[in-house]
Amino acid sequence: DKLKRSPAEQLQEVEIELVEKECLNRVFQWLKTQDPKKTEKVEDAKKKEELENKITAGDLARALKKMGSNPTKSEVANMIWEVDDDLDGMISEDEFMTMYKRC
C-alpha cells in the first residue's frame, strides 16, 4: 500500500528505462569532469577517487556557465543541497539518478 511506504521507498520502485539510463550516465560523466582542478591539491587517493566520481560545486558551476547561465555560489550550493542525500556537498551517481526519478 502506497500510504504505508515513505517517499524514499516509493522512489526506489521507479524504474528508469535503459535508454534513459544511458543518456543520464553520459550527462553525469560529462558533469563530473567539468572542474579539471578539483583533485589537484588532494593527496589522499581515496578522497581523490571520491572527488573524481562525483559532481562538485565547481563542476556544476562550470557546466552551467557553458550553457549560458552565471549562477552565484549560493545558487550552486542550493542546487546541490536539493539532491545531496548523504550531505557530503557533492552529487553521486545514485543521487543524480534519484533526482531524475523525482522529476
The tens digit of pLDDT for each residue in 1-32 reads 556 888 778 888 889 999 999 999 999 999 99
* Domain-embedded: residue 32: no
- Looking at residue 10, its pLDDT comes to 83
Domain holding 90: CATH number?
A: 1.10.238.10
69 lies in some domain: yes
The whole-number pLDDT of residue 59 equals 97
pLDDT for residue 3: 66
8 A C-beta contact, residue 2 and residue 13? no
Question: What domain range includes position 76?
Answer: 38-103
Quick one: cell of 29?
A: 560523466
Going from the C-alpha of 80 to that of each of 46, 68, 76, 95, the distances in angstroms are 22, 19, 6, 10
- Residues 38-60 have a mean pLDDT of 94
Cell of 16: 528508469
End-to-end CA distance of the chain: give it in Å, rounded. Answer: 22
Q: What does the pLDDT read at residue 6? A: 80
pLDDT of residue 2: 57
Tell me the per-residue pLDDT of 80-102, one tens digit each, with 9 for 90 and over.
999 999 999 999 999 999 999 98
76 and 57 Cβ atoms separated by less than 8 Å? yes
